Amino acid sequence: MSYTLRGRVETRLAVLAPTLAVACVLAAVLAEWWPLEAAALMAGVALALDVVVYHRLLPYQPGWLALPLGLVELGVVLVAMRDLGVRAPIAGAVALFAGSWLFGQLLVHAALPLGRLGYAEDGGELGRLGPALAVTAAVVLAAAGGFAYATRPPVVHLAAGEHAGPIVLDHRQKLVGEEGTIVRGGIRVTADDVTIEHVTVIGGEYGIEVEDAKDVALRDVTVLNARLDGIHVRHSEVTIEGCRILSPPAPYTQGIDVSFSIDLDESHVIGCTIEGGAEGIVTHSSTTTLMGNRVSRTTLRAIDMTEMSMGMIEDNEVIDTLGIGIFCGDHSECMIEKNSVVATRPDPGSDDLTRAGYGIVSHFGATARLDDNTVARSRGPAAFADGRIVGASS
Partner 1 sequence: MPPRSRPRVAGFAGDACSLERCAIVGGGLAGLVAYAALRRGGVEPGEIAVFGEDPDPAAVWRRRAAAIRQRWMRSESDGHCLPSTFPGLAVRTALRRRSVRPLVASLLDRYHPSVTEFLDHVERVRERSGWDRSFRPWKVARVRAVGGGFELDGQGPFRHVLLAPGHPGLAMPPELAGDPRAVHAYEPHDYADEVAVVGAGMAAATEWLNALAAGASVVSVRRREPERRPLNLPRPLFTRRGLAAFHASSDAERVSALRRLSAASYPPGRAWDEPVAAAAREGRFRVEAAVDGAAQIVCATGFLRGFHHDQLLDDLVAEHGLRTVESWIAVDADSTVPELTDGTRTLALSGACAQWAFPGADTLAGARYAAHGFLRRVRRCRTR
Binding residues vs partner 1 (CB under 8 A): 1-4, 7, 59-60, 62-64, 109-110, 113-114, 117-125
Cα separation, 13 vs 136, in Å, equals 9
Question: Is residue 189 within 8 Å of residue 206, measured between CB atoms?
Answer: no
Element (H, E) at 364: none
Give min distance, CB of 66 to partner 1, in A: 8
Q: Residue 60 or 149: which CB sits closer to partner 1?
A: 60
Q: How far is the CB of 125 from partner 1 (least distance, A)?
A: 7
Q: Name which of 67 and 79 has its Cβ closer to partner 1.
A: 67
- Count of CB atoms situated within 10 Å of the CB of 314: 19
Alpha helices in 31-128 (DSSP H): 34-48, 55-57, 66-84, 90-106, 112-115
Q: How far apart are CA 221 and CA 179, in angstroms?
A: 11
CB of 14 to partner 1, least distance (A): 15
Q: Give 1 or 213: the residue with its C-beta nearer to partner 1.
A: 1
∠ CA(86), CA(91), CA(97), 5° rounding?
Answer: 75
Rounded distance, CA 190 to CA 169, Å?
6
Q: What's the order of all strands across the beta sheet hosting 267-270?
A: 155-158, 173-177, 194-197, 216-219, 238-241, 267-270, 287-291, 310-314, 333-337, 367-371, 388-390
Residue 354 DSSP code: G
Name which of 126 and 245 has its Cβ closer to partner 1: 126
Task: Please report, for residues 30, 58, 62, 271, 322, the alpha-carbon distance to residue 359 in angstroms, rounded to integers and kept in the order given.
Answer: 44, 54, 55, 20, 10
- Interatomic CA distance for residues 385 and 298, integer angstroms: 23
Task: In angstroms, give the least distance from the CB of 301 to partner 1.
Answer: 57
Under 8 Å between Cβ of 381 and 362: yes
Q: Residue 121 or 179: which CB sits closer to partner 1?
A: 121
Residue number with CB closer to partner 1 (106 or 168): 106
Least separation in angstroms between CB 105 and partner 1: 10
Nearer to partner 1 (CB atom), residue 130 or residue 207: 130
Nearest approach in angstroms of CB 126 to partner 1 is 12
- Indicate the residue among 4 and 340 with the shorter CB distance to partner 1: 4
Q: Report how far apart, in Å, the C-alpha atoms of 350 and of each of 295, 299, 346, 354 are.
A: 22, 11, 9, 9
Shortest Cβ 127–partner 1 spacing (Å): 11
Report the nearest approach of partner 1 to the CB of residue 119 (Å): 7
Residue 124 C-beta: closest distance to partner 1, Å: 8
d(CA 232, CA 234): 7
59 vs 154 by CB, closer to partner 1: 59
- How many angstroms separate the CA atoms of 172 and 274, rounded? 28
